[in-house]
Structure 1
């Protein structure tokens, strides 16, 4: 009998720009995906300024209670709950004041009840002296002051993609090697693959990255996420491609950054378990769509895939958009309502949003 392929730890990283999910949607997402290998949920929406540019400020009581409730819900479902903290440009001046503020924030997150803590250095300027060394110092400080059972970091340069150097400055020489080999090997390191949004993440690539980082990479997969000015006009619905069962033993875990549309995200995310179990193929989308949306709506989505995922809002004619809106507005289902909202521009992302969140 052929042994069943290894299923890595899967999880959701709510790490996109724009309108964040509601707490009710988060809880429903956790419950829906937990039976399919999704064993962690990381709360890290770019819209939460109290985890980013205003990270030194405490969350208001109602937000704190909502996060604590979500953490409890995750535990009840057997899912690890984590928070992604982006202490904005703290490495530019990691002085006593910064240490005190960080210690206070870590205590607040501990009080929420987190299993995982992610310290995120992405989307910040990186062409500064001793970047890796200072980030190692910060992470060692965090490790000494958090009760989280697992600590993960996102480097300033989390892919070989040169787009990061264009936006955030040229990466320091040997930055990733210095960071990886200087960090405690128990600390995970996020990696998005060859690109920020990778079409394929292969075994040879992951072996090279593991050697560079001194540990297996913790995948932050930017599919089916559709934030950003270029991606928000598209719905990423097709099954995962370019990832297969062979990479399972080469990664620490596989986190998925979902789309802005809560229900529609479930369709591609449900296909990842089958992919790792060696059951990939053309039928994956249809099967997942039926599970999420039901038979009739799944057939509509399959018929309209080229319009939704390939042409997008900017490529469709007004007539095509109007026809889609009529079709889906007549259907009483959360997936159909999300398509109508998307057609109406609900999730349009501008560069201003990206630059200010």
Structure 2
């Protein structure tokens, strides 16, 4: 049975960013494939992160405005992801005026969605859940977006989060669930930061803790980590994604650094929710036919599993050189093949700012 839940893409990865042309192109792709929203939250935009108090340059603002217009024209909701992390510290809690000013600026874009993203920060802060709840409620009060979303600091059961960002405060998720307006969705990545398979038992348990259905932040096919940057993930979503629609509030995908190659996995997710008999293996062949020229289709049919499982570390120098030459030749007529060649040549190196792999 088809399941109708909000499906979207979050540009939320570390490393080599997409460019404005690619972000614009994505609007049409999302419209054609069955997505409903896009969240602009690149780690490289410091006006949303480390320098969030500062305004965008005139050219950056023009690009954002143009991007918003393209999504509106395509009928795709447009969102902004803001990370005012320092407001969670004792020093920053008295600085709410800056948050209101930033939201007023973002309001000029008339976004459909405003997300407060509190990932990638120290979390061993007293009353962290209450502080983040208050900030989310302030955002809801001052924003003209119709949907407010929150990414908690601890967005998974994965112990790596406590290892990197400090011990999770006691009853953190339960406090969020009790205090946060139920109209505000909470992102969740699953039992792991990068979850391969979601179970119904896990999602039901999370809903109990959060006091609402979790909104999936799906870290497939993202490949920005120390290990994952050495791999390409081109295969469709597994069948578990077709079995959880009644247990989530929505589904957001964090794609790869490789814009064109991300399309193969992205195009499959709406099928998982729409097709009564979803078959990833058969769908992969169909998507290769739709998105790739013939020679590239043959090459990826042969190499996709190797790129995902073995990756760069599983290649000999001779193999890597041969593959680079092959895909560089194919890249003369295909941006997707050119991305494979760039990856093989090390153009997508790991960004050490990504801490959670």
Q: Verify same fold: TM over 0.5.
A: yes
**What residue is the counterpart of 2:252 in the other structure?**
255
The DSSP-based 3-state class of the residue aligned with 1:83 is strand
Q: CA 1:216–1:94 in 2, change beyond 3 Å: closer, same or farther?
A: farther
Per-residue CA shift, 1:231-284, capped at 9, x if unaligned?
111111111115332211211111000000001000011111222223223212
Distance 2:92 2:243 in 1: 44
**What residue is the counterpart of 2:198 in the other structure?**
201
After TM superposition, the score normalised by the length of structure 1 is: 0.95
**What residue is the counterpart of 1:354 in the other structure?**
354
In the TM superposition, residue 350 of structure 1 has moved relative to its aligned partner by 3.5
In the TM superposition, residue 40 of structure 1 has moved relative to its aligned partner by 0.4
Alignment check: 8 A CA contact 2:86 2:92 kept: no
The DSSP-based 3-state class of the residue aligned with 1:84 is strand
Are positions 1:169 and 2:170 aligned together? no
In the TM superposition, residue 102 of structure 1 has moved relative to its aligned partner by 0.7
Are positions 1:266 and 2:263 aligned together? yes
**What residue is the counterpart of 1:322 in the other structure?**
321
Distance 2:43 2:59 in 1: 19
Select the residue among 211, 225, 228 that pairs with 2:225: 228
Distance 1:167 1:96 in 2: 23
Alignment check: 8 A CA contact 1:89 1:125 kept: no
Are positions 1:336 and 2:346 aligned together? no
The DSSP-based 3-state class of the residue aligned with 1:33 is helix
**What residue is the counterpart of 1:104 in the other structure?**
101
In the TM superposition, residue 349 of structure 1 has moved relative to its aligned partner by 1.1
Distance 2:240 2:179 in 1: 29
Alignment check: 8 A CA contact 1:64 1:112 kept: no
Select the residue among 55, 62, 71 that pairs with 1:74: 71
**Where does structure 2 lack aligned partners over 5 or more consecutive residues?**
none
Are positions 1:38 and 2:38 aligned together? no
After TM superposition, the score normalised by the length of structure 2 is: 0.95
In the TM superposition, residue 97 of structure 1 has moved relative to its aligned partner by 5.5
**What residue is the counterpart of 2:23 in the other structure?**
26
Distance 1:350 1:59 in 2: 23
**What residue is the counterpart of 1:312 in the other structure?**
311
Pairwise CA RMSD of aligned residues? 1.4
Distance 1:222 1:59 in 2: 28
Per-residue CA shift, 1:177-236, capped at 9, x if unaligned?
101121000001000011100011122211111111111111100000000222111111
